[in-house]
Structure 1
Amino acid sequence: MLIVRPVRISDLPVIETMAVDSGIGVTSLPSNREKLYEKIQTSLAAFEHEAVAGTGREYYMFVLEDDGQVVGTASISASAGFEEPFYSYRSETMVHASRALQVNNRIHVLTMCHDLTGMVQLCGFFCKRSLSLRAYELLSRARLLYMAAARERFGRRILVEMQGMLDDNAQSPFWDAIGRRFFNMDFPQVEQAFAQRSKTFIAELMPTYPIYVPLLPDQAQNAIGQIHPDFERPFSILSREGFEADDYIDIFDGGAVLTAELDQLFSLRQQRQLAVEVSPVLPDGAEEMLISNHRSDQFALSQARASIVDDVLFIMPDTARALSLTNGQRACVVPLLAENKGRAAA
């Protein structure tokens, strides 16, 4: 059975392996044992936090289990750039006009900004490529179901960065055209530097004036707002949730930054909190759905067959055991995303 739960210290060795396997695309999953241990400790403290509202400093890390084996991980940062600005490029249009020459040109420019600072951020996503789309959906959407269970801890707007396009040598055409001019570092090096430290060094060395896109090489222009093929599955799931590419791109590889109103996402709009009834036989109308135990400190989520009758959620005993639910307790339930309903058995 696939289950998503909060990370534990004992998960550190497998998380280390995932950080290596994720390559350079997931900077929030650094290939550094001390950094990973620090993230796990921060996550444990966040889940144990009992305040009515979060402070914004919290970082929540989850893992996906397949019959007890950890096969994926994903995280939430309650406030992007809480301790320092969250940098991105804002894509906008600048008008150059001359009445005397009868010229009016609209020029595409990129301006470094920290407009997205303070938004909730989905990050640290890694799932083994051999797993089904069902597993990807479960891990990705578990974070949203957790936020539904602890809504007071999170803000109104949410973002997620998508990895941009790389060439066959794992180099970024976008980075080579801009960042490399100011840093004597290739793309893998700067990604590693960011994973180990922070983005503050970027503000110290990168240009603060607008970048005129027409002056960039064609490869760099074509990479703006694009998504690496390895991120197509997560992008598909997030898009169906309601995330959209906004006017922002990643400052390293030019990848798309997706944003949304948290409460307008599919999982938040469709989630229902119901009393549980454990039964060995489900009433008519049972179907696959995502079910969580609606606890912030001992969160668990899985996909299982269940029935809803008169605002009561009927679940099987094995589902109840997996989610530590008993009769009368409340659970949070949401339907599968439309495109995935026919793939529940995948």
Structure 2
Amino acid sequence: MMLIRPIKRQDKQALLQLAAKTGTGFTSLPQNERHLTARIERILATWEGEAALSDQGYLFVLEDSATQKVVGISAIEVSIGLNDPCYDFHVGTQVHASKELGIYRQMKKLSLSNDHTGHSELCTLFLDPEYRKNKNGQLLSKSRLLFIAGFKDKFSDRIISELRGVHDQQGESPFWESLGRHFFAIDFTEADYLTGIGKKSFIAELMPKHAFYVDFLTEAAQNVIAEVLPSTLPAREILESEGMRYEGYVDIFDAGPMLEAYTKDLRIVKKSRLRQVKVGATELLGEQALLISNDQYQDFRAILGSPLIDRSNIYLTQEQAQVLSVLDGEKLRIVPLFEKENNL
């Protein structure tokens, strides 16, 4: 059975192995042991109630309960941009018009922005390629939203997710080559890595402070604005199915899209419900796939399953109850895995 649980210190080596597989553009999981150690400690301090708001975050791992192998990671940052500025580009419109000459033109422009300061962020979603099957990606991504549904008071009323933009197999980004290189004079992979390990001051120091026209970029760069890698498309589709939308903001390095929503409007936050546990059920299945979690803050657990449910109860096998760390009579939070099955 595949299980979502909070990060532990002993997971560090497994995460370093996952980081080695992420490839270019995965800023939030650099292959850097010191940075990863510091992040794990910051996350544990959050769960223990010892982290300041600006440092709070949550890391979850996907574990094969049969082998105890960690095969995926996902995260939530509680309030971004409070310690280090959070930068993105806003894709806006500039109008040029002359009645005398009969000219009217709308031109896209990019403006440096800190508009998402203080928002919560879904980030660091990565699943080992060997485990990209059996709805594991759905569990890894959506379980974060079930955690938010259970503990809404710990998060901002707005939530975002920045997705990887387009780059080639050599790690080169058309957007970076057309824009960023002129200001930074370093490779995209190096800028991406420096950002990932927290060295972000160079962005403020070197990025252009004034808006500039998209038409000045190469055609290749223009074509990748707000686009994602094919491997990132499933992650985008999952978030969009839960109510997140592109609202005109992109990453300053590769122009990957930023999706956003009001936290209360996310499907899982709106539609999840509590049910009382009845342990000892047989393998009889219900009619729909469910995302299931306990309602324990420090010992959060989530799985996928299709147990029988009614208006008050959820009927679990002994194995499911053990993996979720719940006893007969306790409460579980459930929601249909897919919107089309939203019938509780």
- Give the TM-score normalised by structure 2: 0.94
- The answer as to whether partners of 2:281 and 2:315 remain within 8 angstroms in 1 is no
How far apart are the structure 1 equivalents of 2:340 and 2:234? 12
Q: Which residue of 1 aligns with 2:43?
A: 43
Say if 2:31 is the partner of 1:28. no
How far apart are the structure 2 equivalents of 1:283 and 1:192? 49
Match of 2:61 among 56, 63, 73: 63
Specify the code of the residue in structure 1 equivalent to 2:227: Q
- The answer as to whether partners of 1:226 and 1:254 remain within 8 angstroms in 2 is yes
How far apart are the structure 1 equivalents of 2:341 and 2:310? 23
| Greater Cα offset, 9-18 or 164-173 | 164-173
How far apart are the structure 2 equivalents of 1:314 and 1:330? 11
Q: Which residue of 2 aligns with 1:236?
A: 237
Any idea what SS the aligned residue of 2:26 has?
Answer: coil
Identity of aligned residues (%): 34
Q: Which residue of 1 aligns with 2:220?
A: 219
How far apart are the structure 2 equivalents of 1:282 and 1:309? 16
Change (3 A) 1:82 1:4: same
Say if 2:253 is the partner of 1:255. no
How far apart are the structure 2 equivalents of 1:200 and 1:99? 44
User: In the TM superposition, what whole-angstrom CA distance separates every residue of 1:115-141 from its partner, at most 9, and x where no partner exists?
Assistant: 011111011111012221510010101
Any idea what SS the aligned residue of 1:178 has?
Answer: helix
| Greater Cα offset, 42-51 or 223-232 | 42-51
Q: Which residue of 1 aligns with 2:124?
A: 124
Matches of residues 280-319 of structure 1 in structure 2 within 5 Å?
280-281=281-282, 285=286, 287-319=288-320
Q: CA deviation at 1:195?
A: 1.2
How far apart are the structure 1 equivalents of 2:212 and 2:37? 38
How far apart are the structure 2 equivalents of 1:284 and 1:89? 48
- The answer as to whether partners of 1:133 and 1:233 remain within 8 angstroms in 2 is no
Any idea what SS the aligned residue of 2:53 has?
Answer: coil
Change (3 A) 1:157 1:2: same
Q: Which residue of 2 aligns with 1:197?
A: 198
Any idea what SS the aligned residue of 1:328 has?
Answer: coil
How far apart are the structure 1 equivalents of 2:77 and 2:94? 33
How far apart are the structure 2 equivalents of 1:48 and 1:320? 25
Q: Which residue of 1 aligns with 2:175?
A: 174
Any idea what SS the aligned residue of 1:321 has?
Answer: helix
- Give the TM-score normalised by structure 1: 0.93
Q: CA deviation at 1:286?
A: 5.2
Q: Which residue of 2 aligns with 1:209?
A: 210
How far apart are the structure 2 equivalents of 1:28 and 1:121? 11
How far apart are the structure 2 equivalents of 1:151 and 1:34? 31
| Greater Cα offset, 112-121 or 125-134 | 125-134
Any idea what SS the aligned residue of 2:277 has?
Answer: strand
- The answer as to whether partners of 1:89 and 1:110 remain within 8 angstroms in 2 is yes
Specify the code of the residue in structure 2 equivalent to 1:151: K
- The answer as to whether partners of 2:25 and 2:189 remain within 8 angstroms in 1 is no
Specify the code of the residue in structure 2 equivalent to 1:177: S
Any idea what SS the aligned residue of 2:236 has?
Answer: helix
Q: Which residue of 2 aligns with 1:344?
A: none
Give the RMSD, CA atoms, in angstroms.
1.9
Q: Which residue of 2 aligns with 1:80?
A: 80
Any idea what SS the aligned residue of 2:18 has?
Answer: helix
Q: CA deviation at 1:242?
A: 1.2
User: In the TM superposition, what whole-angstrom CA distance separates every residue of 1:239-294 from its partner, at most 9, and x where no partner exists?
Assistant: 11111111100000011111111111111111001221112237784543111111
How far apart are the structure 2 equivalents of 1:307 and 1:25? 42
Change (3 A) 1:72 1:284: closer
Q: Which residue of 1 aligns with 2:329?
A: 328
- The answer as to whether partners of 1:80 and 1:119 remain within 8 angstroms in 2 is yes
How far apart are the structure 2 equivalents of 1:109 and 1:257? 17
Change (3 A) 1:286 1:106: closer
- The answer as to whether partners of 2:87 and 2:112 remain within 8 angstroms in 1 is yes
- The answer as to whether partners of 1:282 and 1:314 remain within 8 angstroms in 2 is no
Any idea what SS the aligned residue of 2:289 has?
Answer: strand
Structure 1: segments with no counterpart, 5+ residues: 342-346
Q: CA deviation at 1:30?
A: 1.5
How far apart are the structure 2 equivalents of 1:31 and 1:224? 27
Any idea what SS the aligned residue of 2:86 has?
Answer: coil
Specify the code of the residue in structure 1 equivalent to 2:59: M
How far apart are the structure 1 equivalents of 2:233 and 2:341? 15
The number of equivalent residue pairs is: 339
Any idea what SS the aligned residue of 2:135 has?
Answer: helix
How far apart are the structure 2 equivalents of 1:226 and 1:121? 19
| Greater Cα offset, 240-249 or 96-105 | 96-105
How far apart are the structure 2 equivalents of 1:284 and 1:224? 44
Q: CA deviation at 1:7?
A: 0.5
Q: CA deviation at 1:217?
A: 0.6
Say if 2:270 is the partner of 1:269. yes
